[in-house]
């Protein structure tokens, strides 16, 4: 099994963290390939960043296909480019928002989402509706922190997320 993880932003350290987590939980016979485009926004914080990152994401999907990927994960909670990626390849393409919402309904009767910025709230609400999760998704809330602060230790990201939870 060959699993490709594509982070559509250009922050390599985030891509490496995704890979590290996948390596901890993979089967022994699963190979992990993680990548990100070089010429996309450093973080994806709304529709504008999404549009700017789509071409690079599709190029990374093509590279993963050439590598021989059996399945693909788009590692951005906005699930950007999901349908386009599914048109390019034959294996499953999984968005982490869709996967999280479906898995959560197995564990609980309802859920809420805490995201980074306010501009992400309507995007995630729309995804909840699109995935048929509106009846389970009670609230989408923002901790009002930039995406990159999740990594760089600025603005007390962990404490702000915990407070919002």
Structure tokens at 75: 């590692």
Check pLDDT > 90 for residue 22. yes
pLDDT tens per residue, range 26-51: 999 999 999 999 999 999 999 999 99
Q: Which residue has the tokens 């999760």?
A: 133
In whole angstroms, give the CA distance from residue 112 to residue 92.
26
In whole angstroms, give the CA distance from residue 113 to residue 93.
22
Single pTM value for the model: 0.92
Which residues, in sequence order, are CB contacts of 3 under 8 Å at separation 6+? 22, 26, 30, 31, 32, 33, 69, 70, 71, 72, 73
pLDDT tens per residue, range 54-78: 999 999 999 999 999 999 999 999 9
Binned at pLDDT 50, 70 and 90, residue 150 comes out as confident
């Amino acid at each position: 099994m060959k699993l490709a993880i594509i982070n559509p932003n250009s922050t390599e350290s985030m891509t490496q963290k995704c890979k590290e987590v996948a390596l901890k939980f993979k089967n022994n016979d699963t190979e992990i390939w993680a990548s990100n485009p070089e010429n996309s926004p450093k973080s994806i914080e709304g529709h504008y960043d999404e549009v700017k990152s789509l071409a690079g994401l599709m190029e990374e999907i093509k590279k993963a296909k050439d590598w021989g990927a059996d399945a693909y994960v788009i590692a951005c909670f906005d699930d950007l480019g999901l349908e386009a990626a599914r048109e390019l390849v034959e294996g499953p393409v999984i968005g982490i928002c869709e996967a999280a919402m479906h898995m959560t309904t197995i564990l609980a009767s309802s859920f809420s989402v805490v995201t980074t910025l306010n501009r992400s709230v309507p995007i995630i609400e729309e995804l909840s509706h699109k995935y048929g999760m509106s009846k389970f998704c009670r609230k989408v809330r923002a901790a009002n922190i930039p995406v990159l602060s999740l990594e760089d230790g600025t603005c007390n990201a962990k404490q702000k997320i915990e407070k919002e939870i």
